[in-house]
Structure 1
Amino acid sequence: MGRIFLLIATNIAVMLVISVVVSLLGVNRYLTANGLNLTTLLIYSAVIGFTGSIISLLMSKSMAMWSTGARLINQPSSSTEAWLVSTVQTLAQRAGIGMPDVAIYNGEPNAFATGASRDSALVAVSTGLLDSMTKEEVEAVLGHEVAHIANGDMVTMTLIQGVVNTFVVFLSRIAGYLVDSFLSKDEENHRPGIGFEIASFVFQILFGIGASLIVAWFSRRREFRADAGSARLLGHKQPMINALARLGGLHPGALPSDLAAAGIGDGSQLSALFSTHPPMEERIRALQNLR
């Protein structure tokens, strides 16, 4: 249960911080001076909703490197590192994207891709993944990550997060205004105050939980596409099926919450509704049915 609250808190933390800052600057007082101006409120909500998501996207590579302790392979120091770089390069060429940076980090079996664009991305694999899988299975995992990049999944998820954040801010302000108006004793000369701020804050958290469910659902859909993308890049689906089956018998390493949706597997113990990845059995079944 604690991991669920951590995920929710991560998704809405930046939004809340920005909301507090603009409130201190007096923007909320301007919005409510003569009743809510819905057009202005929507613009305000979009600025808050998208700012955090876009900043996170632009910083995603450096934050991923920092949070996992990953090491870029600039000059391969072993045959394994040389093979990793060569394999990612081949897959990237097949997918028609720029060569991603390649990194290794110490940890349980997992891998992830992140970055602000198709031609400026990062693919990282854990030492646990390299130690527990065959080369063919690792290649399939790398194909999965390259497919995420080729599909533009990082940008897509940023836009989805920005949209739902916008509606969270927009609806929470409206709900807060209605609650404050209902509790006001002087309806004719009503000016929203602390009641509006508190109610908006509470509703922002509640609506943020709903937003997390929507984002997690979209994240699960894109995993099926990346699995199928790996099968196309490799020319057959069995390596990806084998990799998922192998991963299903292991314990995927839990990535930092801001990278949870980027991994090959979900190492957390979240409820299925909050999970960023479908169950391995569903992913394998979808690949088996792929034509």
Structure 2
Amino acid sequence: MNYVRTAMLLAAMTALFMGIGFMIGGQGGMIIALAVAAAMNLFSYWNADKLVLRMHHAREVDERTAPELFRMVQRLASNADLPMPKVYLIDNPQPNAFATGRNPQNAAVAATTGLLDMLTAEEIAGVMAHELAHVKNHDTLIMTITATIAGAISMLANFAFFFGGNRNNPLGIVGVLLMMIVAPLAAMVVQMAISRTREYAADRMGAEICGQPLWLASALGKIAGGVKRIHNPDAEASPATAHMFIINPLSGERMDNLFSTHPNTQNRIDELRKLANAGPAAGGRSFSGRSSAVPQTGSRESRPKGPWG
């Protein structure tokens, strides 16, 4: 059902783009705008992962510099039948994490030092499993596509200001002004709706990958509390990356649910608890036998200082 909703939202955004382009310049104007927007976003498609990691000052770690985190991700990737992604650490006290990369073969997962300091090993495993679920579901590619279409819609709205409409726009200059305001707003709402839909799907698959839905449920509660208390200046400086994090890192994200990039955290926790209560039969996959995703050091209290990087 989540894939159906995503497809419907993508179709709605595409239809919006096509309709606006036709109203502004007819078929020819629509094709030109699409070509320009595609060219602008092609560079982002191939380099978005590097740009995002650089924005958040992430540094790559390996089995030598962060052994427990690296081995945990390695085990989870094996559970998910994924290639081993690159692992990054962000020196930031706010607990959070994200995944990036255009496909599973070019993926990376990143965690903040705040996440590793505040959560237990089990909760960290739940978070990393969630991020690997985004990789497995090709969500980073989906968000690139929606960003491309949203950018094209904004570009068409700007074209309307300079070139006006044509005879297909019955409202004249009033229609052009409305288009400039409403079209980018509508595209943003659809883009955020897609992001929220993919979070629920990643929560469910992440629970399957790590083997314990309650690990992720507990982690979400702690991360949400940490985000409320701890400012993230890098995220505030690059708000366009907010949808990538497991919890919205921006201080103003709770102002309006309509424009939130993520579902309500309590709703996500409730869904994970339902999944745990449903037992091994939920979704046709067993949650048993997956605890090997967590290092033998176990809880946060028992692990030695330093191995997380």
Q: TM-score, normalised by structure 1?
A: 0.74
* 8 Å CA contact 1:173, 1:200 repeated in 2: no
Is 1:260 aligned with 2:242?
yes
Displacement of 1:246 in angstroms is: 1.7
How far did residue 52 of structure 1 move? 3.6
For residues 180-234 of structure 1, what are the alpha-carbon distances to aligned partners after superposition, in whole Å with 9 as ceiling and x for unaligned?
x9999xxxxxxxxxx8xxx969844542122111101110111111111111001
The CA distance in 2 between the partners of 1:231 and 1:133, in whole Å, is 16
**1:97 aligns to 2:76 (yes or no):** no
C-alpha distance in structure 1 between counterparts of 2:170 and 2:177, whole Å: 17
Aligned pairs (5 A) from 1:64-75: 64-74=52-62
Query: CA distance change for structure 1 residues 146 and 251 in 2, over 3 Å: closer, same or farther?
Result: same
CA offsets 1:112-146 (integer angstroms, 9 cap, x no match): 11112111011110011111000100110000100
Greater Cα offset, 239-248 or 100-109: 239-248
Which residue of structure 1 lines up, in the alignment, with residue 212 of structure 2? Answer: 236
CA shift, 1:169, in A, is: 4.1
Instruction: Kindly state the Cα deviation for residue 94 of structure 1 after the two structures are TM-superposed.
Output: 2.1
* Structure-2 separation of matches of 1:237 and 1:75: 27
Q: 1:130 aligns with which of 83, 107, 116?
A: 116
Looking at structure 1, the residues matched to 171 and 125 of structure 2 have their Cα atoms a distance apart, in angstroms, of 61
Give distance in 2, aligned partners of 1:167 and 1:91.
38
> What SS does the corresponding residue of 1:125 show, helix, strand or coil?
strand
Q: Any gaps of 5 or more consecutive residues in structure 2?
A: 1-20, 276-281, 283-309
Secondary structure of the 2:74 match is helix
Is the CA contact 2:24–2:166 (under 8 Å) kept in the aligned structure 1?
A: no
Is the 2:100–2:108 Cα contact (8 Å) retained in structure 1? yes
Unaligned runs of 5+ in 1: 1-30, 185-194
Cα distance in structure 2, aligned partners of 1:66 and 1:178 = 43
Does the aligned pair in 2 maintain the 1:245–1:280 contact within 8 Å? Answer: yes
Is contact 2:160–2:180 with CA below 8 Å preserved after alignment?
no
- Contact 1:50–1:159 (8 Å) recurs in 2: no
Aligned equivalents of 1:201, 1:121: Cα separation in 2: 41
Alignment of 1:87-236 (within 5 A): 87-107=72-92, 108-170=94-156, 173=159, 176-178=164-166, 203-204=179-180, 206-236=182-212
* 3-state SS, counterpart of residue 257 of structure 2: coil
Classify the secondary structure of the residue corresponding to 1:144: helix
Tell me the SS of whatever aligns to 1:59. helix
- Mapped to 2, the partners of 1:220 and 1:145 lie a distance apart of 14
Distance, in Å, in 2 between the alignment partners of 1:87 and 1:183 is 59
- Residue of structure 2 equivalent to 1:63: 51
Which residue of 2 is the match for residue 285 of structure 1? 270
Query: 1 CA distance for matches of 2:31 and 2:45?
Result: 21
Deviation at 1:285, TM superposition (A): 1.2
> In the aligned structure 1, how far is the partner of 2:40 from the partner of 2:240?
12
**How many aligned positions are there?**
244
SS at match of 1:267: coil
Residue pair 1:140, 1:234 contacting (<8 A) in 2 also: yes
What CA distance in whole angstroms lies between the structure 2 residues aligned with 1:231 and 1:274?
26
Taking every aligned residue pair, what percent have the same amino acid on both sides?
28
Deviation, 1:248, is 2.8
The counterpart of 2:222, out of the listed 236, 240, 246, is: 246
* SS in structure 1 of the partner of residue 192 of structure 2: helix
CA 1:288–1:69: 2 relative to 1, 3 Å: same
Code of the residue aligned with 1:229 in structure 2: it is M
Instruction: Say which SS state the counterpart of residue 273 (structure 1) adopts.
Output: helix
Cα distance in 1, alignment partners of residues 54 and 157 from structure 2 = 35
1:76: which partner in 2? 64
Over the aligned positions, Cα root-mean-square deviation in angstroms equals 3.1
